[in-house]
């Protein structure tokens, strides 16, 4: 039987949390697709690429590849059986909202790391929400 494939969606400001959850999923036998993670040494070697997430500037924007990475992430959603939204303290950025909308439009189940802090789509998107959307109560 093929392992479940889960695509993580969320802000790069939660990369540490995403890596921890990815480890737990891998230990449970799931395949995780997530955003690209660059080590600190990359930014030491390329300081011009360092983002400033406090003001919403991502390294991909500084390097002019945000659109490429956004499209690749949608292809990861296409490959996945479901998505998991890394919504620490309820934060959902515009890119993540777009990914949630894309997943819903393509019939992918949406799960939430923090169930009590789900993002509610605008009224025009409300009908696209999956009936079976759920939170993660464990891996």
Q: What is the pTM of this model?
A: 0.79
1/36 Cα distance (integer angstroms): 28
62/123 Cα distance (integer angstroms): 34
**Banded model confidence at residue 130, pLDDT cuts 50, 70, 90:** very low
Instruction: Tell me the backbone φ, ψ of residue 16, rounded to 5 degrees.
Output: -60, -45
> Could you give the C-alpha distances from 6 to 26, 72, 84, 91, in angstroms and in order?
10, 15, 7, 20
Could you give the angle at which helices 94-105 and 66-79 cross, rounded to 10 degrees?
A: 30
Top-confidence residue, 67 or 60: 67
**Banded model confidence at residue 97, pLDDT cuts 50, 70, 90:** very high
Locate the domains of the chain by residue range: 5-135
The number of helices, as runs of H, and strands, as runs of E, in the chain is 5, 5
Topology at the third CATH level for domain 5-135: Rossmann fold (3.40.50)
């Amino acid at each position: 039987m093929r392992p479940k494939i889960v695509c993580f969606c969320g802000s790069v400001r939660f990369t540490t949390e995403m890596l921890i959850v990815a480890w737990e999923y891998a230990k449970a036998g799931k395949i995780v697709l997530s955003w690209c993670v660059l080590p600190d040494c990359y930014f030491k070697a390329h300081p011009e690429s360092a983002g400033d997430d406090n003001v919403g500037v991502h390294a991909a924007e500084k390097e002019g590849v945000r659109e490429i990475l956004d499209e690749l992430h949608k292809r990861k959603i296409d490959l996945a059986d479901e998505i998991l939204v890394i919504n620490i303290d309820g934060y959902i950025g515009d890119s993540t909202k777009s990914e949630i909308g894309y997943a819903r439009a393509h019939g992918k189940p949406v799960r939430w790391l923090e169930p009590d802090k789900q993002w509610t789509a605008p009224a025009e998107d409300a009908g696209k929400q999956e009936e079976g959307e759920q939170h993660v109560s464990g891996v």
